[in-house]
């Protein structure tokens, strides 16, 4: 997908990018390729694949919410996907980019400063530690292929406002969603929808799982990370 094909594809998502946003995304792709020559940020270093598998795929999240003035957290943001792409394309959002990899946070900080992206902010911390000290802050939390869904849910739900949404960007793993159903119930959430899609020219299915927080999360969550891994939440355990 070249850049013009990318712009035409996002128009079909009802996203019209102005000249500044287009320039920032082109700069983003170039900066990522250049930076990746000395520091590993992503396995995808071909520009056309960046437009398709990082930028366009990040914007597919808008099929599950319509960005306005939300406070967004991107857990395990890596090279900024989808969080930094959203910040560029929707300047009315406030986007926090959370990652525990110092090299990736450095990369993001350099690009954010270079481009003066004022609505994007990085957080260098482990997500489960951040969730212990920050409660009910975000309207939208997303995570793209970072960890198993039920693990992500226990970490993200304490951070989410009541009425807010966790949007998990996944390959279409039916078993992973089924395993997370009890976790969703324990954390006072409801699965609202599952948006299945394929990228242009790609045959593999992907999905966005939209889960709403209905009530306050019980105060004992998240548990210590090793416990989250060893004993994912199930009703029979509690």
Q: What is the mean pLDDT of residues 123-130?
A: 95
* pTM score, whole prediction: 0.94
Render 72-113 in DSSP notation, one character per residue. EEEET-TTTTTHHHHHHH-TTSEEEEEES-HHHHHHHHHHHH
Contact status, residue 15 vs residue 59, Cβ threshold 8 Å: yes
Cβ partners under 8 Å of residue 111, min gap 6:
27, 28, 31, 80, 84, 117
- Reply yes or no on whether the pLDDT at 238 is more than 50: no
- Reply yes or no on whether the pLDDT at 237 is more than 60: no
- CA pair distance 12, 221, nearest whole angstrom: 40
Of the pLDDT bands very low, low, confident and very high (cuts 50, 70, 90), residue 114 is very high
* pLDDT tens column, 3-49: 999 999 999 999 999 999 999 999 999 999 999 999 999 999 899 99
- Reply yes or no on whether the pLDDT at 216 is more than 50: yes
Residue 75: beta bridge partners?
Answer: 98, 143
CA dist 171 → 114, 204, 209, 231 (Å): 33, 8, 10, 23
Q: What is the mean pLDDT of residues 45-66?
A: 95
Contact status, residue 119 vs residue 89, Cβ threshold 8 Å: no
Domains in the chain, start-ordered, CATH in brackets? 68-237 (3.40.50.150)
- Reply yes or no on whether the pLDDT at 142 is more than 50: yes
The bridge status of strand 94-99 relative to strand 160-171 is: unpaired
Average pLDDT of the chain is: 93
Q: What is the mean pLDDT of residues 148-152?
A: 91
Considering all CA atoms of the chain, what is the largest pairwise distance in Å, rounded to the nearest integer? Answer: 55
* pLDDT tens column, 155-184: 999 999 999 999 999 886 777 888 899 999
Q: What is the mean pLDDT of residues 114-138?
A: 96
């Amino acid at each position: 997908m070249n850049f013009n094909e990318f712009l035409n594809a996002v128009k079909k998502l009802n996203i019209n990018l102005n000249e500044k946003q287009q320039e920032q995304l082109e700069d983003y792709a170039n900066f990522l390729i250049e930076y990746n020559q000395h520091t590993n940020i992503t396995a995808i270093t071909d520009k056309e694949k960046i437009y398709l598998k990082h930028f366009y795929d990040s914007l597919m999240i808008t099929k599950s919410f319509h960005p306005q003035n939300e406070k967004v957290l991107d857990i395990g943001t890596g090279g900024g996907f989808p969080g930094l792409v959203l910040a560029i394309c929707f300047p009315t959002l406030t986007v926090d980019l959370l990652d525990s990899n110092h090299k990736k946070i450095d990369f993001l900080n350099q690009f954010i400063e270079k481009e003066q992206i004022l609505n994007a902010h990085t957080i260098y911390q482990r997500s489960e530690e951040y969730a212990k000290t920050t409660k009910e802050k975000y309207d939208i939390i997303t995570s793209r292929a970072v960890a198993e869904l039920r693990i992500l849910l226990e970490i993200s739900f304490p951070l989410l406002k009541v009425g807010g949404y966790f949007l998990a960007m996944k390959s279409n793993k039916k078993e992973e969603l089924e395993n997370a159903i009890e976790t969703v119930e324990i954390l006072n959430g409801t699965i609202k929808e599952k948006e299945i899609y394929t990228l242009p020219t790609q045959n593999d299915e992907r999905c966005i799982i939209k889960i709403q927080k209905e009530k306050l999360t019980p105060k004992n969550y998240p548990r210590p990370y090793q416990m989250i891994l060893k004993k994912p939440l199930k009703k029979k355990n509690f």
